């Protein structure tokens, strides 16, 4: 039996009728055509499907669309206004080569968005633990960590760290 | 992967949820965080016909102190536990354990009630609750029932919860002064189940004599295991290298790990002994502060 739900996605309310077994990630990608939220492992491991649900980062492959009824969702498409300035994290990823193939990037950025909302001055270790539920199969973690450090400095209004690539 | 079709209900009160459980019978499952259940449903290892989502029921996610007892609501998430000052103050092991449970996104959703009600010896909270001598509160149509943690885990994925009952609260005695606790598990990577895990809570007097000990073991037994002989080996004794060694040996003998991709039985028994020693020392260090 279809269930009627109302979800606010990127500040736009949507009234949908969904099967209870519909996963949130499929609702986002297939019913709302917001394909920036990716499906990687489909087993709660990789974090590519990470979105914000009422401000908390969650893996949308392991939540039912009906569980989001009455809640607010932010996907990667909702972070910066169309044509407007990037968020500090998006800018950080751009400036620090924080993405290689880009597949993990939306999940990384949404996870880091909550991380920095809780703590805008994390240590490198806190960042690495903070993104421990997100896999980058290009193994580009060093630049991802740099990107998050850059964004945290920007959010605190402090001098921005160097964006020169490291050769190791 | 898509789960088999099911009907979904989201009751607003506990009474409603319990009457739905009774109405739909064995084909109904409770949905709390869903981070064990939904993956099982996607793999079709679980195929409930009804899901009863209890997240809309108010009052099930508080952490509070009432007299000598800390009460944790069943819907409290791992992230709430991680950030609770009350739990940090009384039980340093919660900071150890929450950091090692799955990953940050999962901890935002997964609940302590679900972790326990799932009845999986590979989960971390069963061993923690054994060490802390917790009591499980189950609510059914006849009201509330207290289940001592030692009677809660009854078999492989089997608990003392009866059909029509919902795990609603966990109660933990507030430890006396001179108590410390610690948890560690060895995991191959973030999000893996424990190769082995050990939870310890100790109360020491001023002369380092152990007045009480609680030791629980993760994923080295078909059901979550209290290391009773290890606890007895410490209780009433001064903590010395010899008593700690004896407690560790008993735990490694009394558990029953199976050989798998995470290691051989022999390796896991060795690991249990090492972790028991380390967690006793860490809990003792915290107890002396």
Considering CB atoms only, which of B39, B51, B79 is closest to A20? B51
* Nearest chain A CA: its distance from B195 CA (Å): 18
* CATH code, domain with A71: 3.10.20.30
Considering CB atoms only, which of B8, B42, B103 is closest to A132? B103
Closest residue, chain B, to A52 (C-alpha): B105
What's residue B95's pLDDT? 96
Enumerate the domain spans of chain B: 7-54, 65-170, 181-288
The CA distances from residue B38 to A3, B120, B167, B211, in Å, are 18, 15, 18, 43
Residue A129 maps to a domain: yes
Closest residue, chain B, to A58 (C-alpha): B105
Backbone angles phi, psi at B200, to 5 degrees: -135, 135
Same domain, A104 and A130: yes
Same domain, A13 and A72: yes
* CATH code, domain with A131: 1.10.150.120
The answer to whether B9 and A64 have CB atoms below 8 angstroms apart is no
* Total count of domains within chain A: 2
Distance CA A154, CA A95 (A): 12
Number of A/B CB contacts below 8 angstroms equals 81
Query: Which stretches in chain B have pLDDT values below 50?
Result: none
Does the CB of B191 have a partner CB in chain A at under 8 Å? Answer: yes
Q: How far is CA B278 from the centre of its chain?
A: 20
- Give B177 or A164, the one with higher predicted confidence: B177
CATH topology of domain B181-288: Enolase-like; domain 1 (3.30.390)
Same domain, A10 and A68: yes
Same domain, A58 and A106: no
Same domain, A8 and A73: yes
What's residue B261's pLDDT? 95
Nearest to B153 by CA among B184, B122, B117, B123: B117
Q: What are A86-99's pLDDT values in tens digits?
A: 999 999 999 999 99
Same domain, A73 and A92: no
Tokens describing residue B66: 């009432």
Same domain, A53 and A106: no
Residue with tokens 């000598």: B68
Cβ contact, residue pair B191, A45, below 8 Å = yes
The CATH classification number of B7-54 equals: 3.30.43.10
Same domain, A95 and A66: no
Cβ contact, residue pair B104, A66, below 8 Å = no
Residue A97 maps to a domain: yes
Interface pTM, i.e. ipTM: 0.96
DSSP 8-class letter at A23: B
What's residue B222's pLDDT? 96
The range of the structural domain enclosing residue A69 comes to: 3-78
> Which pLDDT band, with edges at 50, 70 and 90, does A71 fall under?
very high
Same domain, A52 and A114: no
Q: Is B189 left (phi over 0), alpha (psi -120 to 50) or beta?
A: beta
Nearest to A144 by CA among A85, A82, A101: A101
Return the bridge partners of B213, or none: B202
Q: Is the model's pLDDT at A168 over the cut of 80?
A: no
Q: What are A18-70's pLDDT values in tens digits?
A: 999 999 999 999 999 999 999 999 999 999 999 999 999 999 999 999 999 99
Cβ contact, residue pair B105, A57, below 8 Å = yes
Residue A164 maps to a domain: no
Q: What are A104-118's pLDDT values in tens digits?
A: 999 999 999 999 999
CATH architecture of B65-170: 2-Layer Sandwich (3.30)
Same domain, A119 and A147: yes
Q: Is the model's pLDDT at A79 over the cut of 70?
A: yes
Does the CB of B46 have a partner CB in chain A at under 8 Å? Answer: no
Distance CA B196, CA B191 (A): 14
What's residue A164's pLDDT? 84
Domain boundary among A29, A58, A78: A78
Mutating which of A3, A44, A117 best tests the B interface, going by the most B Cβ atoms within 10 A? A44
Tokens describing residue A49: 């499907």
* Nearest chain B CA: its distance from A62 CA (Å): 6
Residue A163 maps to a domain: no
What's residue A135's pLDDT? 98
């Amino acid at each position: 039996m279809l269930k009627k739900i109302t979800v606010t996605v990127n500040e736009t309310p949507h009234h949908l009728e969904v099967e209870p077994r519909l996963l949130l990630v499929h609702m986002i990608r297939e019913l709302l055509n917001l394909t920036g939220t990716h499906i990687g492992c489909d087993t709660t491991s990789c974090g590519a499907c990470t979105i914000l649900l009422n401000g908390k980062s969650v893996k949308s492959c392991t939540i039912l669309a009906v569980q989001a009824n009455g809640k607010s969702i932010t996907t990667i498409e909702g972070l910066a206004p169309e044509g407007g300035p990037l968020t500090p994290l998006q800018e950080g990823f751009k400036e620090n080569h924080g993405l290689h193939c880009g597949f993990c990037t939306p999940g990384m950025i949404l996870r880091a968005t909550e991380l920095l909302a809780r703590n805008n001055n994390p240590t490198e270790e806190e960042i690495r633990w903070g993104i421990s539920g997100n896999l980058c199969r290009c193994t580009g973690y060093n630049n991802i960590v740099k990107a998050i450090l850059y964004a945290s400095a920007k959010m605190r209004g402090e001098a921005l760290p160097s964006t020169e690539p490291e050769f190791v | 992967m898509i789960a088999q079709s099911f009907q979904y209900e989201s009751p607003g009160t506990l009474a409603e949820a319990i009457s739905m459980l009774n109405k739909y019978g064995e084909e109904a499952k409770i949905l709390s965080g869903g981070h064990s259940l939904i993956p099982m449903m996607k793999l079709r290892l679980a195929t409930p016909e009804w899901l009863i989502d209890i997240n809309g029921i108010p009052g099930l996610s508080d952490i509070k102190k009432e007299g000598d007892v800390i009460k944790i609501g069943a819907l409290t998430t791992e992230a709430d536990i991680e950030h609770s000052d009350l739990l940090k103050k009384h039980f340093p092991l919660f900071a150890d354990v929450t950091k090692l449970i799955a990953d940050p996104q999962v901890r935002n959703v997964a609940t302590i009630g679900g972790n326990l009600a799932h009845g999986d010896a590979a989960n971390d909270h069963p061993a923690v609750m054994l060490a802390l001598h917790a009591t499980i509160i189950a609510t059914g149509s006849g009201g509330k029932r207290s289940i001592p943690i030692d009677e809660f885990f009854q078999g492989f994925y089997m608990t003392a919860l009866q059909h029509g009952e919902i795990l609603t609260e966990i109660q933990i005695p507030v430890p006396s002064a001179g108590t410390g606790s610690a948890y560690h598990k060895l995991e191959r990577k973030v999000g893996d189940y424990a190769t082995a895990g050990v939870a310890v809570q100790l109360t020491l007097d001023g002369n380092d004599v152990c007045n009480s000990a609680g030791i629980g073991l993760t994923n080295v037994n078909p059901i979550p295991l209290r290391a009773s002989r290890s606890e007895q080996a410490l209780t009433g004794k001064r903590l010395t290298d010899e008593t700690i060694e004896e407690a560790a040996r008993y735990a490694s003998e009394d558990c029953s790990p199976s050989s798998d991709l995470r290691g051989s039985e022999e390796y896991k028994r060795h690991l249990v002994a090492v972790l028991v020693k380390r967690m006793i020392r860490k809990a003792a260090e915290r107890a002396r502060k």
